[in-house]
Structure 1
Amino acid sequence: MLWFKRPAMAQRVSRDKSRRMRRILIYRYDPERSAKPRIENFELDLNQCGPMVLDALIKIKAEADGGLTFRRSCREGVCGSCAMNIDGQNTLACTRPLASCGDLIRIYPLPHLQVIKDLVVDTTHFFAQYAAIKPWLSTQTPAPADRERLQSPDERGQLAGLSECILCACCSTSCPSYWWNGDRYLGPAVLLQVWRWIMDSRDETRGERLDAVEDSFRLYRCHTIMNCTQTCPKGLNPAKAIAGIKRMLMERQL
């Protein structure tokens, strides 16, 4: 059972020990109705809800407020659609357990992106930056006629921790440098993908890829704050990838 914005009822149900209540504050913004965002308060019984924050949002939308807007798809931490800020950390709602949250749960959209509605942000620029780095295999020699381009297990191992990125934008939107310079700084998610293609043994355009990011803004706005690595819901290390790009650029000047 779910209640919406009724403090008196919240006080009554808190005395019922059979219920595991959580208070959830959700950022709401609908530009068609009001120019001002607001915070709305919901009470949720965890005994009547699935285990993840996404389950709570789905239940609130189904039973309390059908206008609540958020993205979601796979519910398995693969698509990255439900990326949002939960209790001050960018993460995926589908993999964040309610049990790991406190009695008060604060849910906001990803920071420093334009909010379209409620928890949905505009990722157009983010994916345009991703497309700009040419995230596909680029070669100069003809492809073998009778087989794929092969990699050894060790060569494929160089991509571990890189190809698993789901482009949820949690890392980039946690980076202060990306907040202030997002128009020119590529950000940790995109630079992780740059490193992924640089390290792919089948790719034959390493020099061109390095040239494309050797810039005081595109790459060197990274100041190794490490927010990106701390918040990645997949446990990846964008800061290490960025350091690898910087090191390779330095080595080729020696």
Structure 2
Amino acid sequence: MSTAVSDNDTSSGPQQAGPKPPPVPEGSRTVTLKIQRFNPEFDEEPRWESYDVPALSTDRLLNLLHYVKWYLDGTLAFRRSCAHGVCGSDAMQINGVNRLACKVLMKDMLAPQGKPTVITIAPIKGLPVQKDLYVDMEPFFEAFKAIKPYLITYGNEPSKERIQSPADRERFDDTTKCILCACCTTSCPVYWADGSYFGPAAIVNAHRFIFDSRDQGAEERLDILNDAEGVWRCRTTFNCTDACPRGIQVTKAIQEVKRALLFKRV
């Protein structure tokens, strides 16, 4: 859930080049990054800027964004932290698809030899753009917090661990993988049209506790998700499942929450 930012400079105007770039690696190819830029202090509308960057097939797209930031234009703003697909900070639209920049390998993006490679990069949709690829995540986290994403129990605390069988743990294993990157939520057409919809990520995190045998707050969460902006807004387009960088079966989890509502329990 880290949101380390690779930009502390809010200026616009001329590009701010950094130090001299290192020598171009042997065997690299030139890739054009077409990046959507927007600074609300200076721009009325988003604009596109292109950067030619050397790339090896072993590079990740995040490496190329760093090259732009460090050597070509220091005003570029984007989030990143762990760079290993765990923190979820660097979610963005890459060639129109929500992905994590640190998990996109250039070997999968390069055009055939002799043809140009152009990669378009834009911020994830449905959240306010603060600058370039950097969006305001607060609406997303408000929805996440609203479904009470923590273990709820009543009565006296037990004197020993709450025992759970492997089968009980397996029941919600898939939805424990969420890293709150917002790729699924911001790929949802319903969320684009109405940001008050809880969105797939919030429902996934509710699922994780609704089906936890140790939890006693399932009814509370189901009541929350039975709201007009809750689980029934889902139109089963599978965009969320396709977008998830962790391979979570998001649409399946949403359907299981719907079923739990219909039958009043797991």
> What's the TM-score, normalizing by structure 1?
0.88
Runs of 5+ in structure 1 lacking a partner?
5-16
- Conserved? CA contact 2:92–2:133, under 8 Å: yes
How far did residue 156 of structure 1 move?
1.1
Corresponding residue of 1:10: none
- Counterparts of 1:156-171 in structure 2, within 5 Å, are 156-171=169-184
For normalisation by structure 2, the TM-score amounts to 0.84
| Over 6 Å off, 4+ runs | none
Checking the alignment, whether the CA contact within 8 Å between 1:112 and 1:173 is kept in structure 2 is yes
Two-structure CA RMSD over aligned residues (Å): 1.8
| 1:123 lines up with 2:137 in the alignment | yes
What are the within-5 Å matches in structure 2 for residues 201-212 of structure 1? 201-212=213-224
Report % sequence identity.
Answer: 43
Give 1:234-249 correspondences, 5 Å limit.
234-249=246-261
CA pair 19-97 structure 1, distance change in 2 beyond 3 A: closer
Deviations 1:33-71 (A, max 9, x none): 222321111111114x96101010011101101111100
1:94 aligned to 2:130? no
Once residues 252 and 199 of structure 1 are traced to their aligned partners in structure 2, the CA distance between those partners, rounded to angstroms, is: 12
Mapped to 1, the partners of 2:94 and 2:172 lie a distance apart of 30
Note the residue ranges of structure 2 that are not aligned, 5 or more in a row. Answer: 1-14, 16-25, 112-116
Match among 42, 45, 48 for residue 39 of structure 1? 48
Instruction: Tell me how far 1:215 sits from its aligned partner.
Output: 2.5
2:71 is the counterpart of 1:63: yes
Corresponding residue number in structure 1 for 2:82: 74
| Aligned residue type for 2:80 | R
Structure 2: distance between partners of 1:188 and 1:38: 29
**Partner of residue 193, structure 2:** 180
The residue number in structure 2 matching 1:190 is: 202
Give the counterpart letter for 1:182 in structure 2: G
Partner of 1:29: 38
How many residue pairs get aligned? The number is 235
Q: Distance in 2 between matches of 1:134 and 1:43?
A: 45
Are 2:215 and 1:200 equivalent residues in the alignment? no
